[in-house]
Amino acid sequence: MLLTLSACPPFSLRAIIGSHGWVQLAPFAADPQATLLTRVERLESGRVVELHIREARGGVAVEVRDSLTGAEREEVSRKVWWMLGLGEDLSPFYTLARQEPHLAHVEPQALGRILRSPTLFEDAVKVILTTNTAWSGTQRMVEALVTRYGDPLPTNPARNAFPTPAQIAASDEETLRTIGLGYRAPSILSLARRVAEGSLDLEALKRDSLPTPEIHRRLLAIPGIGHYAAACLLMLIGRYDHLPVDSNAYRMVSQEWYGGRPVSRSEIEAQFEHWGDWKGLAYWFWAWSRED
């Protein structure tokens, strides 16, 4: 089954694959040339399929090596549309970026879209698992969750889909700690149970017309989500007016504008304040003068 989806130009699948580390987290994978993005996906019907996504003229081609029902084709199209931000119009950001030498590269390279998961639940879990750990630790924890709770791909049982909220919710804190989640176990379990029982509708935040500060407040109310994680999740739903300030931000901004001296969060914010609704993307794709 082959589906073709158009994208708002300019578009580059390679740029999305390289936009951040999500491609290195199961159940995503990519080839070394970043021309093929794959993902094991559990459909609403319960079937588990593998998506093979390649760039095509004006967008992407999505291959599923199984027959799909009409509803399943629509679901795959909807999920890929969201994951790659195919409908996102970044022209206002590009207009501003043309005036800034450190961002002059973004439009020619079609940078700006950020790879995201089909659900905000998955993205929230993954963001929580990035906190207070090395990237290799995040990879191990995500792999452990997917392997332990996700449904296997029938044609390759070594690969699994990302677990549903209900699959994680049926577990317990001790088991989550045992597979390596450590102090994050209670937050992940609480999040899964709230989403599974319907008391927390994360997907509504993707569609909601609420102002960003209100969405930010609701994200911060979730145990395990701090200011950095909330800003990352806002970026992943297309709200770019918050900065995901982490230790790397302190280091890079210090080197870029403050001669290497220690800086405060307010000093970091000040350097990107004039970007307004696009400050997150300006920070994310900034061509830093010094990069280690």
Question: In the prediction, which pLDDT does 208 show?
Answer: 74
Residue 291 pLDDT: 55
The pLDDT score that the predictor gives to residue 38 is 98
Per-residue model confidence (pLDDT) at position 232: 97
pLDDT at 289: 87
The domains found in the chain, sorted by start residue, are 2-89 (3.30.310.20), 120-236 (1.10.340.30), 247-284 (no CATH)
Per cent of the chain over pLDDT 90 is 96
Dump pLDDT digits (tens) for 78-87: 999 999 999 9
pLDDT at 161: 98
Positions in the chain short of pLDDT 70: 290-292
Phi and psi, residue 156, nearest 5°: -155, 85
- Look at the block and give the residue holding tokens 């209900």: 166
In the structure encoding, which two tokens stand for residue 132, read together? 């207070």
Quick one: which of 75, 169, 60 has its CA closest to 118? Answer: 75
The pTM assigned to this predicted structure is 0.96
Backbone phi, then psi, for 27, in 5-degree steps? -95, 25
Return d(Cα 270, Cα 185) in angstroms, integer: 35
pLDDT at residue number 113: 98
Distances from the Cα of 142 to the Cα of 54, 100, 166, 174, 249, angstroms: 25, 37, 17, 17, 24
